[in-house]
Amino acid sequence: MIETLYVIFVSILKTALYFGILLLHVAYATYAERKVIGHIQLRLGPMVVGPHGILQPIADVVKLIFKEDIIPSNVDKRVFAIAPIISLTAALSTFAVIPVDKNFVISDMSVGLLYVLGIAGVGTYGIIFGGWASNSKYAFLGGLRSAAQMISYEVALAMSLVGVVLMAESFNLSEIVNKQNELWYGMFLFPQILGYFVFIVAALAETNRLPFDLPEAETELVAGYFVEYSGIRFSFYYLAEYLAMFSMSALAAICFWGGWTAPPVLIKIFPILSLIPGIVWFLLKVYFHIFLFFWLRGTLPRYRYDQLMAIGWKVLIPLALFNIVITSLIKYYQ
């Protein structure tokens, strides 16, 4: 009995710590994005609130919370209210299985990877519901676009990870990282370079980032599925988008970059590197991918809807399948 209570207590503590830090990260990811894109575009980004605008995310949160919660007339009120919550919950739940350090994971599930992909799919419902319930044509089109986009890219995303699963012989994310550490270079990035490429492109589409930000294509659909949302409900969608970015980056770091471990060859050459805690390696890898997302946003134009579908079905999925075949053959003959 005492032991059960202890486990529950530790889990709650872990969860609180994990999500506290996570949400702080998300808040400052918005700041980082504005700064990075600002400097790419010859501007300074936020500079007013606090030194170098460091308190800007806090001001934003306060503003969003105190804004009037507008529910337009003729919307489907129940669905309208629940849609952003579905998106946010799905985005947050992903992190339950993502290990940030050795033995630091909330739930060490044996099918962690499947869980992440499944939960990410649930998030799509939030977007479709939001678009449908808003009773706005722009939101409706945005919702439809995102439904089609997410379904087609989820296939590519899942397939790109099959190669990793084959190599690691496990769906457990911690196990995948441990398997990578057995290699001398400590990451699946090199044998799975094709899978990594497909994964990154599909992840961009999955998180609605440029060049695949069609569901919210600003210049076409004004804001897409959340055009009617305001205040705290809007911020739920916003949070969900950034959380999805973090979960995709974390997945990339875990499945392809060796998670919290440093490449063994590096540690052999510079033994001092083994003193660096795993979380630092992990965060560095995640930040790299987050930066990649920002960087692409500052550089690329947007694809058209039909081109996006063509890339998904005609390029990414065949590539992922090819990758699976090659990996399987090598695995079989080893």
Partner 1 sequence: MNPENERELLINMGPQHPATHGVLRLVLEVEGEIVKRCTPYIGYLHRGLEKLAEDLTYVQSLPLTDRLDYLSSMVNNVGFCLCVEKLLGINVPERAKFIRTMLSEMARICSHLVWIATHALDIGAMTVFLYAMRDREKLLELFEMVTGARLTVSYPRIGGVRCDVSNEFLKKLERFIDEFPKRVEEYETLIDRNRVWLKRTKGVGVISAEEAINWGLTGPTLRGSGVYYDVRKFFPYDAYDKVEFDVPVGKNGDIYDRYKCRMLEFRQSVRIIKQCIERLPEGPILADNAPKIRMPASPLKIDKEDVQFEIYVDDKSVEDFIKKFTDIYASVEAPRGELGFYIVCDDSAKPYRMRVRAPSFVHTGALPRLCEGGLIADVIANIGSIDIVLGECDR
Is position 291 an interface residue for partner 1 (rule: CB under 8 A)? no
Is position 85 an interface residue for partner 1 (rule: CB under 8 A)? no
- Specify whether the CB–CB gap between 120 and 180 falls below 8 A: no
Residue 181 makes CB contacts below 8 A (sequence gap 6+) with: 258, 261, 264
Give the range of 157-165, 231-239, 284-292, 297-305 binding partner 1 by CB under 8 A: 297-305
Is position 300 an interface residue for partner 1 (rule: CB under 8 A)? yes
Task: Give the chain as a 3 state SS string.
Answer: CHHHHHHHHHHHHHHHHHHHHHHHHHHHHHHHHHHHHHHHCCCCCCCCCCHHHCCHHHHHHHHHHHCCCCCCCCCCHHHHHHHHHHHHHHHHHHHHHCCCECCECCCCCCCHHHHHHHHHHHHHHHHHHHHHHCCCHHHHHHHHHHHHHHHHHHHHHHHHHHHHHHHHCCCCHHHHHHHHHHCCCCCCCCCCHHHHHHHHHHHHHHCCCCCCCHHHCHHHHCCHHHCCCCHHHHHHHHHHHHHHHHHHHHHHHHHHCCCCCCCHHHHHHCHHHHHCCHHHHHHHHHHHHHHHHHHHHHHCCCCCHHHHHHHHHHHHHHHHHHHHHHHHHHHHHC
Selection from 190, 147, 144, 154 nearest residue 317 by Cα: 154
Q: Which of 307, 314, 325, 328 binds partner 1 (CB under 8 A)?
A: 307
Which residue's CB is nearer to partner 1, number 238 or number 294?
294
Q: Which of 1, 4, 51, 301 binds partner 1 (CB under 8 A)?
A: 301
Burial environment of residue 57 by CB neighbours within 10 A (0 to 12, 13 to 18, 19 or more) = buried
Q: Which of 211, 224, 259, 278 binds partner 1 (CB under 8 A)?
A: 211
CB 172 → partner 1: shortest distance, Å? 37
Which residue's CB is nearer to partner 1, number 43 or number 314?
43
Is position 40 an interface residue for partner 1 (rule: CB under 8 A)? yes
Q: Which of 297, 313, 321, 326 binds partner 1 (CB under 8 A)?
A: 297
Which residue's CB is nearer to partner 1, number 37 or number 64?
37
In the region spanning residues 114 to 173, those forming contacts with partner 1, defined by CB under 8 A, are 137-138, 140-141, 145
Is position 220 an interface residue for partner 1 (rule: CB under 8 A)? yes
Which residue's CB is nearer to partner 1, number 175 or number 220?
220
Q: Which of 16, 44, 71, 222 binds partner 1 (CB under 8 A)?
A: 222
Which residue's CB is nearer to partner 1, number 137 or number 331?
137
Is position 305 an interface residue for partner 1 (rule: CB under 8 A)? yes
Is position 217 an interface residue for partner 1 (rule: CB under 8 A)? yes
Is position 219 an interface residue for partner 1 (rule: CB under 8 A)? yes
Is position 42 an interface residue for partner 1 (rule: CB under 8 A)? yes
Which residue's CB is nearer to partner 1, number 141 or number 187?
141
Q: Which of 22, 157, 177, 210 binds partner 1 (CB under 8 A)?
A: 210
Q: Which of 218, 265, 268, 318 binds partner 1 (CB under 8 A)?
A: 218
Instruction: By CB under 8 A, name the binding residues for partner 1.
Output: 37, 40-43, 137-138, 140-141, 145, 210-211, 213-214, 217-222, 297-307
